[in-house]
């Protein structure tokens, strides 16, 4: 057992009780993207009391904590803080009932339906182990509590606000995410582990008129319907079956009344790709098809494209992943294993991409073992409520312990090398 996890084992009872209380508190008080004021203060106050040099409001609400402990590598550990604009439907005694106004001023339910509350709790727990057991490691730990992952702006906003020489440059950047999977397990992968994600809003312009006089109109509803169907052929007819890709139309909005042909229609779509060339091709095809359908409808102006969010590929450094895999195997045995890429997307890689620093991202299973076993037996794992479901509810134990152990184990691969000498 590595010294950091050994330190966790020694104080696990008291610490895990404290962290469970913190987790439930964060879960009951979720905050929307770029509005994580309470969560940021909770994390900043906690690590500051442990002796970290803390900088607040980095990239709006981001928090950076630095703890130096002699000569050695600088390891950056990142956790995202934001919740989703959706109502929770888990039935948990600590479920969120919070409502808030989004950036458009619309009141929405708010819930930690992606597990970021666990991510923050894990990092807070790791911060205590680092601070209280400095004899177990050498180097510098940099903790990053990031806002706005769900809108794809948080990492970029922190990087933009980073400043030259303000913080130490990391030698490795580490992150993890709770996902559907047997609680107690850890899944890793060298190379691409998460897809790139692009969300677009496309406004199609027609000419409104009375529903009884379509000859005087250019109908944007027909235009949008034809465009929606045609866009589905990009993956089915233009992308090789050997290249994974997804294109989903999540929203199509037009008009207000059955006898009025509206002036315009709006399509919102989301793409997931695992190859940069495929991504660029699909983005080009979306524009080509939308413009062609507008031309076919004799629209008087071209469509308007707005990027809602854009996430790069999360592509783990091979050598660093192998280093972590060996540490995970030593700690977890066959409960740690290589996984296939997931079609989810993250802005975590922006840190490493911007600074040209290797990074590794992995998954921690959060599904109750009995629930997972039954679903596997029934061949219905896809029916387990997943991230972004209103019923997503990671089981606290052993997920809390496993995520904390995984974070410490990965960091120890750099910080505890002197222990082997």
- The answer to the question of whether 112 is labelled as a binding residue is no
**What distance in Å separates the CA atoms of residue 39 and residue 17, rounded to the nearest whole number?**
19
How many helical (H) and strand (E) elements, i.e. helices and strands, does the chain have? 12, 18
Cβ atoms within 10 A of the Cβ of 387, count?
Answer: 18
φ/ψ bin of 278: left (φ > 0), alpha (ψ from -120 to 50), beta (otherwise): alpha
- Cα–Cα nearest to 47, from 92, 14, 77: 77
Phi/psi at 373 (nearest 5 deg)? -60, -40
Cis upstream peptide for 298 (omega within 30°): no
Distance CA 275, CA 239 (A): 11
Strand partners, 101: 107
- Residue pair 353/27 in contact (Cβ under 8 Å)? The answer is no
Assign residue 169 a region (left: φ > 0; alpha: ψ between -120 and 50; beta: otherwise): beta
What lies within 8 Å, CB to CB, of 191 at 6+ separation is 315, 316, 318, 321
Take residue 187 and report the two structure tokens written for it: 């899944």
Q: Which residues contact 315 (CB under 8 A, 6 or more apart)?
A: 191, 192, 193, 349
Q: Three-state DSSP class for 205?
A: strand
Q: In the 8-state DSSP scheme, what is residue 190?
A: S
C-alpha 326/C-alpha 188 separation (Å) is 11
295 three-state secondary structure: helix
Angle at 374 between CA 372 and CA 378, to 5 degrees: 115
Tokens of 186: 């850890």
Question: Is residue 119 part of an annotated ligand binding site?
Answer: no
Question: What are 23's two structure tokens?
Answer: 């987790």
Among the listed residues 365, 362, 360, 361, the one whose alpha carbon sits nearest the alpha carbon of residue 401:
365
Sign of the CA dihedral with 391 first, then 396, 397, and 402 last: positive
Residues of each annotated binding site = 114, 116, 150, 177
Residues of each annotated binding site for Mn(2+) = 114, 116, 150, 177
């Amino acid at each position: 057992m590595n010294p950091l996890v050994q330190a966790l084992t020694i104080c696990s009872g008291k610490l895990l009780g404290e962290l469970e209380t913190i987790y439930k508190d964060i879960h009951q008080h979720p905050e929307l993207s770029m509005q994580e004021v309470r969560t940021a203060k909770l994390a900043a106050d906690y690590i500051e009391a442990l002796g970290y040099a803390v900088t607040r409001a980095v990239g709006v609400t981001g928090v950076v904590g630095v703890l130096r402990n002699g000569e050695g590598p600088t390891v950056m550990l990142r956790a995202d803080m934001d919740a989703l604009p959706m109502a929770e439907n888990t039935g948990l005694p600590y479920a969120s009932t919070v409502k808030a106004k989004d950036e458009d001023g619309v009141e929405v339910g708010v819930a930690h339906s992606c597990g970021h509350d666990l991510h923050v709790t894990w990092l807070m727990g790791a911060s205590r182990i680092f601070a209280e057991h400095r004899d177990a490691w050498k180097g510098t730990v940099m903790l990053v509590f990031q806002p706005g992952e769900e809108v794809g702006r948080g990492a970029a906003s922190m990087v933009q606000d980073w400043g030259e020489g303000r913080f130490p440059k990391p030698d490795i950047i580490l992150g993890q995410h709770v996902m559907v999977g047997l609680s107690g397990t850890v899944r890793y992968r060298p190379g691409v582990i998460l897809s790139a994600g692009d969300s677009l809003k496309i406004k199609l312009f027609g000419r409104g008129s009375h529903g009884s006089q379509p000859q005087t109109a250019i109908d944007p509803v027909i235009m949008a319907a034809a465009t929606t169907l045609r866009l589905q052929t990009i993956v089915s007819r233009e992308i090789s079956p050997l290249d994974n890709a997804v294109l989903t139309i999540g929203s199509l909005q037009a008009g207000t009344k059955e006898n009025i042909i509206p002036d315009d229609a709006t399509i919102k779509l989301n793409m997931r790709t695992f190859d940069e060339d495929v991504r660029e091709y699909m983005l080009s095809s979306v524009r080509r098809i939308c413009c062609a359908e507008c031309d076919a409808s004799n629209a008087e102006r071209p469509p308007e494209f707005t990027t809602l969010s854009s996430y790069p590929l999360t592509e783990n450094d091979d050598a660093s992943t192998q280093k972590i895999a060996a540490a995970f195997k030593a700690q977890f045995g066959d409960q740690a294993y290589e996984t296939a890429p997931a079609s989810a997307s993250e802005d975590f890689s922006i840190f490493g991409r911007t600074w040209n620093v290797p990074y590794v991202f992995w998954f921690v299973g959060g599904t109750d073992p009995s629930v997972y076993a039954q679903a596997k037996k029934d061949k219905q794992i896809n029916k387990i409520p997943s991230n972004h479901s209103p019923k997503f509810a990671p089981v606290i134990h052993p997920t809390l312990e496993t995520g904390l152990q995984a974070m410490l184990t990965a960091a120890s691969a750099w910080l505890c090398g002197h222990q082997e000498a």
